[in-house]
Structure 1
Amino acid sequence: MPNATKIAIIDDERDMRQSISQWLALSGYDTETFASAEDALRVLGPDYPGIVVTDIKMPGMGGMQFLKKLMSTDSSLPVIMITGHGDVPMAVEAMRLGAYDFLEKPFNPDRMNELAKKASHVRRMTLDSRALRRELSDGGQLMEKLIGSSPVMERLKEDILDLGQADGHVLIDGETGTGKTLVAHALHAVGARAGKRFVLVSCASLEEEALAKRLFGPVMPEDNYLPAVEEARGGTLVLEDIETLSDASQARLLSFVNDEGTPPETRIVAISNLQDEGRTCEDALRADLFYRLAALRITVPPLRQRGEDILTIFTRFTEQFAADYGCEPPQVSAQEAAQLLQAPWPGNVRQLFNVAERAVLQSRRGSGTIVSLLMTDHQEMRPVMTTEGKPLKEYVEAFERMLIDNTMRRHRGSIAAVMDELCLPRRTLNEKMAKYGLQRADYI
């Protein structure tokens, strides 16, 4: 079906509501009908996954009163009103009260379909935005996205929880692709500003004049936005690539920071990528601004320092891509697990994400290996290796943990099925799960 959006159709005339339902169903919509507004209100909650088509003239609760009830529950719910001849002024009043649009009987079915398509798109955008806002305000969900239990990741999570409760500005640095923006989201979500605005500006993506206007204004009425320092008032302002700010913008930002006082009304989280270039953020910013922004500091660890987290993340990514592409995730051999652990990962988690997708795609075609994805042309197709070796025991244990974890996931916690596939006695499997901190309950 091209459109999965629900459409609630309310009309006291049975033939009319069935006619509208059949026409919209043929266009791919999931329709449900109601003979009265009272019946519909039992179903239409604030996050109803669709739109409403309702008649204005109905016995009992009329369309206008029905609209007011809907708007008081969810003011962004698109409601298309159907009106008879002579009721256009009433329909115009309905739009003033929040209706999406109206159709006058007899209406063109194509016009109905066009309105439904537009309203459904608006509804999907609204619900997606709500879901994102909820996720960004849910510190637990965001912390779960920081996958891994290596010492450096445990320390990072502790830093986020500690600094999230503090008031000072924060500098986040680290190599490209390590997840610095995700850390900024998490800092906001676990702190006192979780319910306030979270505004992100990429300093490197705008020309100097446009960036200054976006950050500080002035803006014209037709621009339809506030300067970032005003939009984020009381919340969190994240400045990506802070090191690209010009001297003039640094001066204006310092003035804003000084005016905020202590503790600041608006927290600034500055993100720097300069480690990649052999310089630091301190080199790029004026000293007084740097020390204000770096009152608190988090360095996100590179992937190569995260040990067997690499296998955990890779498995999570391949499972996600396999679900998206409708296939099974690739099986990782011991050699491939060792290669994944030894690769230097200059692009960090973002690079691992790309390798995981390519691994799923080539596995679906039945060709290629994970090792082949870790080869480089400039090294005569030899596997890339880090200079920091690990004891064989560590590779074996990391592979063993990944293998048991993957098998438990695949069999949804069935101990008998895992024992059978891995040819392990119950006691040995229990001992290894205890050793690697794997709990059966996590897979059921």
Structure 2
Amino acid sequence: MAQAMKIAIVDDEKDMRQSISQWLALSGFDTETFSSAEDALKSVGADYPGVVVSDIKMPGMDGMQFLKRLMSVDSGLPVIMITGHGDVPMAVEAMRVGAFDFLEKPFNPDRMTELAKKATSSRRLTLDNRALRRELGDGTTLMKKLVGSSPVMERLREDILDLGQADGHVLIDGETGTGKTLVAHALHAVGANPGRKFVVFSCASLDEENLGKRLFGPMEEGGQIQLVEEARGGTLVLEDIDALPQAVQGRLLNWINDQGTPPETRIFAISNLRQQGKSCEDVLRPDLYYRLASMKITLPPLRARGEDVLTLFQRFAEQYADEYGCDAPEIGAQEAAQLLQAPWPGNIRQVINVAERAVLQNRRGTGTIASLLMAEDEAAQPAMTTEGKPLKEYVEAFERMLIDNTMRRHKGSIAAVMEELCLPRRTLNEKMAKYGLQRADYL
């Protein structure tokens, strides 16, 4: 759910700050008022979940001093300055210091609302990006995003921990939608220097001439810095490495060779060719391929991950249910079997789409999961299945999902789970041990 934005109104004139607060409150904003900059600084700091509206002329710390203090604490905080008649030069100086915009008294209230909307939208984007950067820099958080208890996922997490600590380049391949870029983030985050630069670029985004310039230069005056310099000392992720033209492959190989061993900048090369029945080895020059593939990770398709699909579907469904303010659909034995049998050509990305649509149709009280799976492939027949599995496997997968969901809903309360599932303590303990479920994970 989106974070609610606040507006801090700072003005020594009581009538002015109250009138601004009232108008913005009527426009749907959450406001708080302060009679001085000193008071405001006690509440408005780095990552403040909102924006600031401040008068320039105030006793004690004036608006300009206040603005400079705010910019030193959080340069991404939008501050709207209010100026009196004749203070426009000061307002221009405020913009130079870092103010978001300014209003000259007497100002149009609708203009205030318009600026507040723009400022809060900008602030929300800034905070979301910061949260994402923190998350991508946290190896523990990222590893938790690699959901699944299947043997192939256990091996994948082990490979990430091992290769993340290494120095060499890594080739990451797998079908579309399996989470290759997420794995690249995780490799960087669990490495020895997760705080170093992390740059992601798609080799399919530009033509040959511009691709070479973007990677290695020379760039036009005043243009972007070349990617090899932008990522220097960190990690350069090259998505769609198989789209790299031969000439650019040669330049990349020379750049890699010039770095020496260990390389100053690691390359994580990502390929989607596996889905097309090919590999990077088929399209990259051999010397480049073997430099990039000295370490390799192949992500498993969802159809090879067994009951992980139930865990993923339930997690995404709960997230969307929270976002849309409704209940997640209940998964019975038949629905669990249908999810397990589906081939999932779009892998995790497809599960996300189906989970969201399942939540929306559950909110309306119509539709089934089977119909959603059918809609994902117009050519599919009602029994859209992969290779069949023994009934015992379906039963066990459903049983594990049911216990897992109930444990999470009751936050690890064994008594509550026993009562809801009508299981004696010993039976519940045996089943949790069988499925690798630990009470501590739910507390």
**Shared fold by TM > 0.5?**
yes
Aligned counterparts of 2:320 and 2:217: Cα–Cα separation in 1: 42
Stretch deviating more after TM superposition (412-421 or 351-360): 412-421
The 2-side partners of 1:212 and 1:365 are apart by 51
Residues 347-366 of structure 1: matches in 2 within 5 Å?
A: 347-366=346-365
Q: By how many angstroms is 1:438 displaced?
A: 2.4
Determine the structure 2 residue equivalent to 1:430: 429
Cα deviation 1:238-271 (Å, max 9, x = unaligned): 1111111111111111121112221111111101
SS at match of 1:53: strand
- What residue number does 1:240 align with? 239
Aligned in 2, Cα 1:92/1:428: closer, same or farther, shift over 3 Å?
Answer: same
Q: Deviations over 1:75-126 (max 9, x none)?
A: 2212222222333333333222222222222222223223222222222221
Query: 2:199, 2:231 within 8 Å by CA — same for their partners in 1?
Result: yes
Q: Which residue in the other structure is 1:6 paired with?
A: 6
| Matching residue's letter, 2:342 | A
Alpha carbons of 1:69 and 1:380: their partners in 2 closer, same or farther (altered >3 Å)? closer
The worse-fitting range, judged by mean Cα deviation, of 74-83 and 213-222 is 213-222
Q: Is the 8 A contact 1:68 1:97 kept in 2?
A: yes
Q: Aligned-pair distance for 1:370?
A: 2.3
CA offset digits 1:393-425 (Å, max 9, x no partner): 332221111111122233333434433332222
- Contact residue 193 and residue 236 of structure 1 kept, 8 A: no
Task: Provide the C-alpha distance between the structure 1 equivalents of 2:128 and 2:202, rounded to a whole number of angstroms.
Answer: 22
Aligned to 1:384: 385
On the 8 A contact 2:70/2:77 being kept in 1, the answer is yes
> Which amino acid is the alignment partner of residue 200 of structure 2?
L
Bigger mean CA deviation after superposition, 192-201 or 126-135: 192-201
Q: Aligned equivalents of 2:411 and 2:38: distance in 1?
A: 43
Deviations 1:159-200 (A, max 9, x none): 111111111111001122211111011111111342122111
Q: Secondary structure at the match of 2:7?
A: strand
Mapped to 1, the partners of 2:318 and 2:110 lie a distance apart of 42
| Contact map agreement 1:50 1:120 (CA 8 A) in 2 | yes
Q: Distance in 2 between matches of 1:431 and 1:298?
A: 35
Higher mean C-alpha displacement, 303-312 vs 202-211? 202-211
How far apart are the structure 2 equivalents of 1:378 and 1:87?
68
Matches within 5 A, 1:150-299: 150-221=150-221, 223=223, 225-299=224-298
Give the deviation of 1:4 after TM superposition. 4.1
Tell me what 1:43 maps to.
43
In the other structure, the counterpart of 2:110 is 110
> Gapped runs of 5+ residues in structure 1?
none
Mean Cα deviation higher: 433-442 or 256-265? 433-442
Worse-matched range after superposition: 428-437 or 316-325:
428-437
2:329 paired with 1:330: yes
**CA contact under 8 A between 1:216 and 1:228: conserved in structure 2?**
yes
Deviates more, 1:106-115 or 1:370-379: 370-379
**What TM-score results when the alignment is normalised by the length of structure 2?**
0.93
Map of 1:56-75 to 2, 5 A cutoff? 56-75=56-75
Number of the residue aligned with 2:130: 130
Distance, in Å, in 1 between the alignment partners of 2:380 and 2:10 is 68
Specify the SS of the correspondent of 1:262.
coil
Query: Which residue of the partner structure matches residue 98 of structure 2?
Result: 98
Identical residues among aligned pairs (%): 76
- In angstroms, what is the RMSD of aligned CA positions? 2.1
CA–CA separation in structure 1 for the residues paired with 2:368 and 2:83? 63
Cα distance change on mapping 1:96 and 1:356 into 2, 3 Å:
closer
CA contact (8 A) 2:83 2:104 kept: yes
Q: Label 1:4 to 1:312 Cα distance change in 2 as closer, same or farther (>3 A).
A: closer
* Matched positions, count: 440
- The TM-score with structure 1 as length reference comes to 0.93
Distance 1:140 1:245 in 2: 33
How far the C-alpha of 1:377 sits from its partner, in A, is 5.3
Structure 1 counterpart SS, 2:213: helix
1:321 Cα deviation after fit: 2.0
Structure 1's 3 and 31: CA in aligned 2 closer, same or farther, altered over 3 A?
Answer: farther
Instruction: Name the CA shift for 1:149/1:80 in 2 (closer, same or farther; >3 Å).
Output: same
Instruction: Evaluate the alpha carbon distance shift between residue 22 and residue 255 of structure 1 in structure 2; reply closer, same or farther with a 3 A threshold.
Output: same
Question: 2-side partners of 1:370 and 1:117: how far apart?
Answer: 39
Matched, 1:408 2:387: no
CA distance in 2 between counterparts of 1:3 and 1:318 reads 20
